[in-house]
Chains A and B, each alone.
Chain A
Amino acid sequence: MILAYITLTVLWLSLITYAALGGADFGAGVWDLLSFGYSVERKRELINRALGPVWEANHVWLIFLIVGLFTGFPSVFAIVSIVLFVPFSLVLIGIVLRGAAFIFRTHGLGRNNPITMIWSRVFSFASVITPFFLGASAAAVASGHIRAPGGNVSTDVTGATWLSPFAITIGLMAVSLCAVLAAVYLSVEALHTKDEQLVGAFRLRAIIAGALTAVFGALGLLLAPSEAPILWNGMLAHALPVVIVTMLVGLATAAALFTRHFHIARVLVVVETAGLLGSWGISQLPYLIPPDVTVQNSANSPNVLQFMLIGTA
Chain B
Amino acid sequence: MSDLLAARTQMGTSLAFHIIFAALGVGLPLLMCIAEGLALRRKDVVWMALTRRWARAAAILFAIGAVSGTILSFELGLLWPTWIKFAGAVVGPAFAFEGFAFFLEAIFLGLYLYGWDRLSPRAHWFCSFPIWISGLASAWFIVSANSWMNTPAGFVISHGQVTNIDPLQAMLNPSTPYETIHMILACYVATGFGVAAVYAVSMLRGKRDEYLPSDGLSEARTQSVGRRYKDEYRRKGLLLALAMGAIAIPLQIVSGDANARFLADYQPAKLAAMEGLFHTQAGAPLQIGGLADPQTGKVYYALEIPDGLSILAKFDPNATIKGLDAFAPQDRPNPLPVHTSFDGMVASGFFALFVGWLFWLIYFLRKRRVSENRWLLWGIALSGPLSFLAIELGWMVTELGRQPWVIYGYLRTKDAVTTAPWLNISFLVFAFIYVVLAITMTVLLLRLARSPLPKMEWDELASGQSQSQGERAGV
Choice from A63, A81, A303 contacting B84 with Cβ under 8 Å:
A81
Note all chain A residues with C-beta closer than 8 A to B64.
100, 103
For the complex, is A75 an interface residue (Cβ under 8 Å from B)?
A: yes
For the complex, is B371 an interface residue (Cβ under 8 Å from A)?
A: no
CB-contacts of A171-220 with B (<8 A): none
Chain B nearest Cβ from A97, distance in angstroms: 7
B76 touches A70 (CB 8 A): yes
Chain B nearest Cβ from A163, distance in angstroms: 16
A83 nearest CB neighbor, chain B only: B420
CB-contacts of B422-475 with A (<8 A): 422, 426, 429, 433, 437, 440-441, 443-444, 447-448, 470, 473-475
A88 touches B78 (CB 8 A): yes
Note all chain B residues with C-beta closer than 8 A to A74.
84-86, 88-89, 92
**CA–CA, A45 and B96, complex, Å:** 35
Segment at the interface with B among A104-112, A224-232, A266-274, A288-296: A104-112
Chain B nearest Cβ from A121, distance in angstroms: 14
**CA–CA, A150 and B26, complex, Å:** 42
B81 touches A82 (CB 8 A): yes
For the complex, is A92 an interface residue (Cβ under 8 Å from B)?
A: yes
**CA–CA, A276 and B426, complex, Å:** 33
**CA–CA, A123 and B7, complex, Å:** 27
For the complex, is A248 an interface residue (Cβ under 8 Å from B)?
A: no
**CA–CA, A115 and B447, complex, Å:** 13
A63 touches B99 (CB 8 A): yes
Given A92-B71, A99-B63, CB of A67 within 8 Å of CB of B420: no
Given A85-B78, A99-B70, A107-B474, CB of A311 within 8 Å of CB of B93: yes
CB-contacts of B57-74 with A (<8 A): 59-60, 62-64, 66-71, 73-74
Count class of interface residues, chain A:
35 or more
A81 touches B418 (CB 8 A): yes
Note all chain B residues with C-beta closer than 8 A to A82.
81, 418-420
Segment at the interface with B among A33-41, A53-61, A132-140, A250-258: A53-61
A303 nearest CB neighbor, chain B only: B165
B93 touches A155 (CB 8 A): no
Given A68-B96, A308-B167, A311-B97, CB of A57 within 8 Å of CB of B77: no
Contact pattern, B 95-109, Cβ under 8 Å of A = 1, otherwise 0: 111111011001101
Given A64-B99, A107-B60, A107-B474, CB of A53 within 8 Å of CB of B110: yes
B429 touches A93 (CB 8 A): yes
Note all chain B residues with C-beta closer than 8 A to A304.
89-90, 92-93, 165, 167
Chain A nearest Cβ from B65, distance in angstroms: 10
Interface centre among A55, A96, A119, A312 (most CB of B within 10 A): A96
**CA–CA, A206 and B64, complex, Å:** 31
B73 touches A52 (CB 8 A): no
B110 touches A56 (CB 8 A): yes
Note all chain A residues with C-beta closer than 8 A to B210.
none
For the complex, is A78 an interface residue (Cβ under 8 Å from B)?
A: yes
Given A56-B110, A100-B437, CB of A307 within 8 Å of CB of B82: no
**CA–CA, A70 and B77, complex, Å:** 8
**CA–CA, A103 and B474, complex, Å:** 8
For the complex, is A49 an interface residue (Cβ under 8 Å from B)?
A: yes
B163 nearest CB neighbor, chain A only: A301
Note all chain B residues with C-beta closer than 8 A to A79.
81
Given A74-B85, A92-B70, CB of A56 within 8 Å of CB of B60: no
For the complex, is A62 an interface residue (Cβ under 8 Å from B)?
A: yes
For the complex, is A141 an interface residue (Cβ under 8 Å from B)?
A: no
Choice from A72, A77, A108 contacting B77 with Cβ under 8 Å:
A77
**CA–CA, A304 and B60, complex, Å:** 36
A96 touches B433 (CB 8 A): yes
Note all chain B residues with C-beta closer than 8 A to A154.
419
A107 touches B475 (CB 8 A): yes
A103 touches B63 (CB 8 A): yes
A70 touches B418 (CB 8 A): no
Note all chain A residues with C-beta closer than 8 A to B447.
109
Chain A nearest Cβ from B6, distance in angstroms: 13
**CA–CA, A154 and B81, complex, Å:** 12
**CA–CA, A88 and B77, complex, Å:** 10
For the complex, is B302 an interface residue (Cβ under 8 Å from A)?
A: no
B110 touches A308 (CB 8 A): no
A109 touches B73 (CB 8 A): no
Note all chain A residues with C-beta closer than 8 A to B97.
311-312
**CA–CA, A48 and B473, complex, Å:** 8
A residues at B contact (CB < 8 Å): 45, 48-49, 52-57, 59-60, 62-64, 66-68, 70-72, 74-75, 77-82, 85-86, 88-89, 92-93, 95-97, 99-100, 102-104, 106-109, 115, 119, 154-155, 157, 300-301, 303-304, 307-308, 311-312
Interface pairs (24), CB distance under 8 Å: A48-B474, A57-B110, A60-B106, A70-B88, A71-B88, A71-B93, A78-B85, A78-B88, A81-B418, A82-B418, A92-B70, A92-B74, A93-B429, A96-B70, A96-B71, A104-B440, A104-B444, A107-B475, A108-B474, A115-B440, A300-B89, A304-B89, A304-B167, A312-B96
> Besides the contacts A82-B81, A85-B78, A303-B166, what 10 more A-B pairs have beta carbons closer than 8 Å?
A53-B114, A55-B63, A59-B106, A70-B76, A71-B96, A74-B85, A78-B81, A301-B165, A304-B89, A311-B97
